[in-house]
Structure 1
C-alpha cells in the first residue's frame, strides 16, 4: 500500500490530456447518473405528493400507513445495498445499472393500478430492492474515476440531482393533477406514476450504450487508448486489487476502523436529514391547526427545502474540494444547523413563518450526502475496490436500517404538526454528529501521520 501511495502522490500533477479526459467523463458519467438519481428520487418523493393529492382519500389510508409503506420500501432498499455494490465488481455497470432502471421504472408504472394501501406496500418492497443500486453504486463509480481534488464537486452534482427530483416532484404533480386528473378515468396521482415510469426507459438505453464502466474495464467508444491508460494511471494501484469474498475478506473488513467509523457516521448524519426525507413540511402543512392549504400549496411550498439542499450541497462539495478535501467541516455545520432549526420548531412561541423558515434552513443538512461519501472514498483510496464498495454500501445500509423504525417512532404522520419527539431526537443526533466527526478526523490524521513516517523511514 505504501508504494502505491507514493506513486499516486507523484502523479497528482495535471498531465497532458487530463482536462479533455475529465470533460468526457463528466459528460457521460454525470449525465447518466444524475438523470437516474433525479427520477429515482422523483419516484420516492412522488408517493408523498400523491398522498396529499388525492391518493389518501381514494385508497382510504388511515393511521400511519404511509409511514409503514415507507418503512417497507426501506427494508427492500436495505437488503439490496451490499449485493448491488458487490455486483458492480463482477458485472459491467453499463449492464447492471440499466437493468435495475427498467425494473424500478416498471414497478413505478404498476403503482398506478393499485386499489388499496396493501398493494402499494408489496410494490414498494421490490422497488426498494431495485433502487438500492443507484445511490451507493454511483458513489462507488465516482470514487473509481475521480481523484481527491475532483471527487467532492462531482459527488455534490450527483446528490443535487436527487434533490432536484424531490423539488420538481411537487411542480410535476401539480401540473399533472391540473391537466390529467380524470383523463381516461384515472386520477391525477395515478398518471404521475405512469409518466414517471415511462421516462426511465430512454435513460436505461443511454446507459446501456454509453456508460464507461470503470477505468480498468472500460470499452467506451469515445475514449481513446491513451485516455484509457491515463484513467488507469490516475488510480492508486492498491485500489485496483479485488480481494476474494471469503473469510479473509470479512476479517479484513471488520479488522479496520473504516467500516465502523463511516457506517456510524452516516447512521447519525442520515437521521439529521429526517426533516426532508420524511417530507415533514408537507405533513406540517396538512395537519396545521389553524390554516388550510390547497393541493397546489401542499405540493409547491415544500420544494423550498430541497432547493436549499441543492445550494448547500454544491457549495460545501466545491468548497471542500478547493480546501483539499476537508470534508469534516460539513459535520460541524450540520450539527449546528440541526440544533438551531429543531429548537425553533419546538418553541411554542414560533410563528408559522418561523417554522417554515426553520424547515427551509434544515434543508441545508443535505450537504452531508455528497461530502461524507466523498470523504469515505478519499480515505479508502489506497484500499482495494471490493472493500471500498462494501463500506460505501454498508454506510447507506446502516442509515436506512435505523431510518426504517426511526421515522415511525419520531416522525409518524399522526405526530404532525409539531413532531416534538422528533425535534428532540434531531438535537441529540446533531450533537452526536459533531463528536463522531471529530473522532474520524483524529483517526485519519493518525493514519496519515503513520504513512508519512513509513515513507521517511523507507527513503533513509
Structure 2
C-alpha cells in the first residue's frame, strides 16, 4: 500500500478543474486511475429531483450500482429489523397477551430486555467495523437475529420471551448504527441525507408491513397448531433469512478495503476520490488513549448524542403501540387495530422524504431546519394528547401525525458524518454512541412514563414528549452554532498557517 502525498488535478466532463488533496489517503497502487470527479458539480434543476443527474457519466454509473446494492441491502436489512421489532407489539395486541397471560407490565419488560441487549452491543459493534470487514460482521448478525425470531413462536411464558428478546436485541445492535457508518463512508454531502433518510424510512415500511402482515396471518390462527401471533414470527424469519444470507455475497465493505465483485477498479477509485474530496478520513487508525481523549474532549460526542436521545425518545410514542391500544379501547376490530396505525407510518415516510430533499437541495446541506420544524409540530401534537379531552377528529389527527419526526434520524446521522468526517474512528464511535445512548434512555424511561396499566391515556408519556421535542429543536440550534464556530476557527487557523509559510 503506497501513501500518496501529491495532488491530483482532475477535469470533470462539465469543465470544472478540481484539485484533490491525497493527504492521509491510501491507494491500492502507486499508479492511481484518473477519474472525472467534480468537487462542486454545476447544479441544474434536475438535481432537485435526484442528485446524480448533474454528475459525470462515470460517476452516475457508479452511483447507480452503489444505490442498487448498498442502499437496497441497507433498506431490506432495516425493513426486516423493524419488522421484527414491531412484530412483538403487533403480536401482543393480537392474542399473545391473552394466550400467555401478560396482564401486568410485561410488554414494558419485554421492550426493556430487547433494549438492554441492543445498547450493550452498539458501540463495540461500530468499533469492530473499523477493524474487521463489515461484509462479514453485519450479515452474520442478521442471520443470528433471524433465526432467534422464529423461536419466539414456541415461547410459553414471559421469561422465555425476555431471554430471546435480549439476544435478538444484541444481534440487531450491529445493523442500524453500522449501516449509517457505512453509508457515511460512500456518499457525499449532497447525497447523504437522501440516502440516510431512505434507509431509515424502510423501517417505517417494516412497521406498516407488520400491521398488514398481522391482519393477514391472524386468519391462520390454529392452522398446524399455531396461533396467529405465532405465525407472525415464523413468517418473519422466512422473510428475513434469505435477505441476511444475501449480504455475504453483495455487501461491499468501505471504499478503501472493498473487494466487491460488482465494482470495477475505476469505480473503486471513484469511490476513494469522492471521499477524499469530502475530507472524510479512511479507516486505519486505532483506538489509543490519545484517540479516546480527543473523542471525549470534543463537543461532537455530547451534542450529537443528546440530539439523538431527544429524537429517538421523543419523535413517536416511546416505542409503545399507543395508537393501537387507543383503537382497541374504543372497540375497533383486530384488523383495524393493526392496519389503521400504518397510516401514521405512511405519513412519517412522506415527511422523511420531504426533510431529506429540502435539506440536501433547498437548504443546501443544512440539517437543522427540518429538525426544528419537526420539534415544533411534535410539541403541538403531544400537548394535545396530554390534555386528552379533545375532539375525536383532532385526536385522530394527533395520532396519525404523531410519527412525523421519524425521518429526522437520517438527518442527524448525515450531520454527524459531516461534523466528524475528518476522523474515521471518531465518526464510528460517535454514530454508535448516538444510537446506543438513545436506547439506554429507552431501556428505562418507558417503565416510568409509558406504563401499560395507564394505557391508552399515557398522560405522563405525552407530557414528557413535549419536553423532548423542545429539547431536540434547541439542541439542533446549538449544534448549528458550535459547528459554524468550529469551521470558522479552522479557516482562521489555515489562514494563519499560510501567512507563516
Q: Using structure 2 for the length normalisation, give the TM-score.
A: 0.87
**Is 1:166 aligned with 2:207?**
yes
Q: CA deviation at 1:459?
A: 4.6
SS of 2:403's partner is helix
Q: Distance in 1 between matches of 2:116 and 2:475?
A: 26
Q: Distance in 2 between matches of 1:56 and 1:171?
A: 19
Asked if 2 retains the 8 angstrom alpha-carbon contact of 1:80 and 1:129, the reply is yes
Q: CA deviation at 1:216?
A: 0.5
Please give the per-residue CA displacement for 1:156-194, whole angstroms capped at 9, x wherever unaligned. Answer: 11011001000110000110111x211111101101101
Residues 258-267 or 431-440, more deviating = 431-440
Q: CA deviation at 1:89?
A: 1.4
Residue in 1 aligned with 2:155?
A: 114
Residue in 2 aligned with 1:17?
A: 58
**Is 1:84 aligned with 2:112?**
no
Q: CA deviation at 1:370?
A: 0.9
The within-5 A match list for 1:26-37 is 26-37=67-78
1:219 to 244, 252, 259: 259
SS of 1:278's partner is coil
Which of the two has higher C-alpha Rg? Answer: 2
Asked if 2 retains the 8 angstrom alpha-carbon contact of 1:330 and 1:367, the reply is no
The within-5 A match list for 1:116-265 is 116-178=157-219, 180-236=220-276, 239-265=281-307
The within-5 A match list for 1:332-347 is 332-347=372-387
Residue in 2 aligned with 1:103?
A: 144
Residue in 1 aligned with 2:337?
A: 298
Residue in 2 aligned with 1:403?
A: 442
SS of 1:234's partner is helix
Asked if 1 retains the 8 angstrom alpha-carbon contact of 2:123 and 2:429, the reply is yes
Q: CA deviation at 1:308?
A: 1.1
**Is 1:62 aligned with 2:90?**
no
Q: Distance in 2 between matches of 1:279 and 1:121?
A: 18
Q: CA deviation at 1:115?
A: 0.3
Root-mean-square deviation (Å): 1.9
Q: Distance in 2 between matches of 1:435 and 1:98?
A: 37
The within-5 A match list for 1:261-410 is 261-275=303-317, 277-286=319-328, 288=329, 291-322=330-361, 323-383=363-423, 385-410=424-449
Q: Distance in 2 between matches of 1:102 and 1:430?
A: 36
Q: Using structure 1 for the length normalisation, give the TM-score.
A: 0.95
SS of 1:137's partner is helix
Residue in 1 aligned with 2:481?
A: 442
Q: CA deviation at 1:12?
A: 3.9
